[in-house]
């Protein structure tokens, strides 16, 4: 028996571990009105490069209004709508993929833009030029030795679906989404190795415009509208899993959340209880539905307390129960603390502002850096679900400067990656079945949160400023060569 245990002990990353990088179509592609693409909801987010830091942070947290939405629909200029220009990945993807190949990437995560396949969302027939773009993109990935991890919906839906139907609060949107997913499975099919129906499905609660495309001033009961939208996404997620397994037998279809790792601020029992509640309401509710196939009991109290009302149709619960995910993925950037102390200092973070941990350092944007929290999250999620795990996003947004030698010396990014990857290795030794890691913003893209180009995540620099001006040239940062060495050594060489 002891011999058997020794033989199965994990010592680190396996040879088939999927090292890679991730981007989102809305943040990278540009070409917002080319190739038959329609306007999508991210194309409508406004940014002014003259804003100071306070105004930029304020804009990050402002909910979309009817007035802003209508103005953006009519706007024809692109300077103040950065998601319309991105980094022009649409025209440059072959060169970018060549850089990824040089780095040794084994998997590339990107999203498919719904408005490029169905420009209005409710079109009877798909846009052939859009389909061909993704066929070409994914075939190029495979030619360069990279698997494809495709996100079907990374926040942005065709704007027409919001104008005409109200977006995800209307159950008809499920049908339009399934028509879109069916086209992807039938026409693009086995060119994708891992499918993800929804990016960060809990974003609907914490950033309702991004996550579920709600316009706050149009809702009488905003909280109920949010959870109604999320319910419709849960149903769409389950139906997409069902459809994928029917059309593409053996396909891997996952679920994803933005992981909000939290610790009790003190050993005071009230703080510990608050941590449990925060974990349930922010994280586990969403993964419980997708992986366990049912609404957890603790949400009944939450809905009752917050007067949330959700309309379900007959058969919804059975559908969720029968169509659970094949793997779970999550984004991980930071951790926070839970407390009942209303005066506790605050810290910024992905989608949310939370309570500050005095034991952690912070990034340029105030996100708390916690490598050990990644190991904690991996253990917690694997213990709870016993499903393969995939880190779909992880990285650090920072101000990068080109030095006098024409290079970018981003030692801070190398340190961030080194410390997080070291903790991933520890989690694998703990027994966690971690199958892949796609570093977020592998190449500089527009920041989703603040809509800035200056918040850079990549190991590849893109010469564009906040107004979209620049050569658009790609420059390898020091972290490019570090990550290349990490991949070549299967995570063993982290110095």
pLDDT at 158 (0 to 100): 98
What's domain 18-489's superfamily in CATH? Glycosidases (3.20.20.80)
Residue 7 has pLDDT above 60, yes or no: no
Find the mean pLDDT for residues 478-485: 98
Q: What is the pLDDT of residue 216?
A: 94
Q: What is the 3-state secondary structure (H, E, C) of the chain?
A: CHHHHHHHCCCCCCCCCEEEEECCHHHHCCCCCCCCCCCEHHHHCCCCCCCCHHHHHHHHHCCCCHHHHHHHHHCCCCCCCHHHCCCCHHHHHHHHHHHHHHHCCCEEEEECCHHHHCCCCCCCCCCHHHHHHHHHHHHHHHHCCCEEEEEEECCCCEHHHHHHHCHHHCCHHHHHHHHHHHHHHHHHHHHCCEEEEECCCCHHHHCHHHHHCCCHHHCCCHHHHHHHHHHHHHHHHHHHHHHHHHHCCCCEEEEEEECCEEEECCCCHHHHHHHHHHHHHHHHHHHHHHHHCCCCCHHHHHHHHCCCCCCCCCCHHHHHHHCCCCEEEEECCCEEEECCCCCCCEEECCCCCEECCCCCEECCCCEEECHHHHHHHHHHHHHHHCCCEEEEECCCCECCCCCCCCCCCCHHHHHHHHHHHHHHHHHHHHCCCEEEEEEECCECCCCCCCCCCCCECCCEEECCCCCCCCCCCEEECHHHHHHHHHHHCCCCCCC
pLDDT band (50, 70, 90) for residue 464: very high
Statement: residue 3 has pLDDT above 80: no
Question: Mean per-residue pLDDT for 378-390?
Answer: 98
The per-residue pLDDT for range 330-347, each reduced to its tens digit, is 999 999 999 998 888 878
Express each pLDDT in 110-126 by its tens digit. Answer: 999 999 999 999 999 99
Q: Is position 200 annotated as part of the catalytic site?
A: yes
Lowest mean pLDDT among 133-142, 176-185, 291-300, 342-351: 342-351
Let me know: does 168 contact 236? Beta carbons within 8 Å.
no
Tens digits of residue pLDDT in 402-457: 999 999 999 999 999 999 999 999 999 999 999 999 999 999 999 999 999 999 99
More confident residue, 173 or 62: 173
Task: Please enumerate in sequence order all residues whose Cβ is within 8 A of that of 322, keeping only pairs 6 or more positions apart, or say none.
Answer: 238, 242, 293
pLDDT of residue 5: 44
pLDDT band per the 50, 70, 90 thresholds, residue 6: very low
Q: Answer yes or no: 219 catalytic.
A: no
Once rounded to an integer, what is the mean pLDDT over residues 64-78?
95
* Cβ pair 112, 25 in contact under 8 A: yes
pLDDT beyond 80 at 8: no
Q: Which of 204, 227, 189 is nearest to 308 (CA)?
A: 227
For range 257-282, the mean pLDDT: 96
Could you report the per-residue pLDDT of 168-209, keeping only the tens digit for each? 999 999 999 999 999 999 999 999 999 999 999 999 999 999
Tokens of 117: 């396949």
1: pLDDT strictly greater than 50 = no
Whether the predicted pLDDT of 357 surpasses 70: yes
Can you give the pTM of this predicted structure? 0.96
pLDDT at 344: 85
Per annotation, catalytic residue among 79, 102, 300, 393: 393
The dihedral region occupied by 457, where left means phi > 0, alpha psi between -120 and 50, and beta the remainder, is alpha
Predicted pLDDT at 132: 98
Mean pLDDT in residue range 85-112 = 98
What is the model's pLDDT at position 423? 98
Mean pLDDT of the chain: 95
232 has a pLDDT exceeding 80: yes
Q: Is the pLDDT of residue 371 over 60?
A: yes
Residue 489 has pLDDT above 80, yes or no: yes
> How do residues 16-46 score in pLDDT, each as one tens digit?
999 999 999 999 999 999 999 999 999 999 9
The pLDDT of residue 54 is 85
Asked if pLDDT for residue 63 goes beyond 90, the answer is no
CA distances to 356, 436, 439 from 361, rounded to whole Å, are 10, 26, 20
Catalytic residue among 140, 200, 452, 466: 200
At 2 the pLDDT is 44
């Amino acid at each position: 028996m002891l011999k058997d245990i020794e033989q199965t002990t994990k010592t680190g990353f396996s040879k088939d571990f999927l090292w890679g990088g991730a981007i989102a179509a809305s943040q990278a592609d540009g070409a917002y009105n080319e190739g038959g693409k329609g306007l999508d909801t991210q194309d409508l987010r406004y940014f002014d490069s003259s804003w100071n830091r306070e105004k930029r942070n304020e804009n990050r947290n402002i909910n979309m209004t009817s007035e802003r939405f209508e103005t953006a629909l009519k706007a024809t200029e692109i300077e103040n709508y950065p998601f319309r220009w991105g980094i022009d990945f649409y025209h440059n993807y072959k060169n970018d993929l060549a850089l990824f190949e040089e780095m040794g990437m084994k998997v590339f995560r990107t999203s498919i833009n719904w408005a490029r396949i169905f420009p209005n969302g409710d079109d009877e027939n798909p846009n052939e030029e859009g389909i061909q773009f993704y066929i070409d993109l994914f075939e190029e990935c495979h030619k360069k030795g990279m698997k494809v991890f495709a996100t079907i919906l990374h926040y942005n839906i065709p704007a027409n679906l919001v104008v005409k139907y109200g977006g995800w609060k209307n159950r008809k949107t499920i049908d339009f989404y399934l028509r879109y997913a069916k086209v992807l499975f039938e026409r693009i099919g086995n060119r994708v190795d891992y499918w993800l129906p929804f990016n960060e499905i809990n974003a609907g609660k914490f950033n309702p415009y991004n996550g579920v495309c709600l316009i706050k001033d149009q809702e009488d009961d905003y909280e109920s509208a949010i959870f109604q939208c999320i319910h419709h996404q849960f149903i769409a997620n389950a139906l997409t899993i069902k459809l994928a397994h029917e059309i593409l037998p053996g396909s891997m279809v996952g679920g994803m959340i933005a992981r909000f790792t939290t610790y009790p601020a003190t050993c005071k029992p009230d703080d510990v209880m608050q941590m449990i509640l925060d974990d349930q309401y922010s994280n586990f509710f969403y993964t419980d539905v997708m992986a366990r196939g049912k609404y957890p009991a603790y949400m009944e109290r939450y809905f009752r307390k917050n007067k949330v009302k959700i309309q379900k149709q007959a058969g919804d619960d059975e559908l969720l129960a029968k169509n659970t995910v094949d793997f779970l993925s999550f984004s991980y950037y930071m951790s926070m603390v839970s407390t009942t102390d209303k005066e506790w200092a605050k810290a910024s973070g992905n989608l949310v502002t939370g309570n500050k941990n005095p034991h952690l350092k912070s990034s340029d944007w105030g996100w708390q850096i916690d490598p050990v929290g990644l190991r904690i999250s991996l253990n917690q999620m694997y213990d709870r679900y016993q499903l393969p795990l995939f880190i779909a996003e992880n990285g650090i947004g920072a101000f990068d400067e080109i030095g006098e030698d024409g290079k970018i010396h981003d030692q801070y990014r190398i340190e961030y990656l080194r410390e997080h990857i070291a903790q991933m290795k520890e989690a694998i030794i703990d027994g966690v079945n971690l199958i892949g890691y796609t570093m977020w913003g592998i190449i500089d893209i527009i920041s989703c949160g603040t809509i800035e180009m200056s918040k850079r995540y990549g190991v590849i620099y893109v010469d564009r400023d906040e107004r979209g001006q620049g050569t658009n040239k790609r420059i390898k940062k020091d972290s490019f060569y570090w990550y290349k060495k990490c991949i070549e050594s299967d995570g063993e060489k982290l110095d």
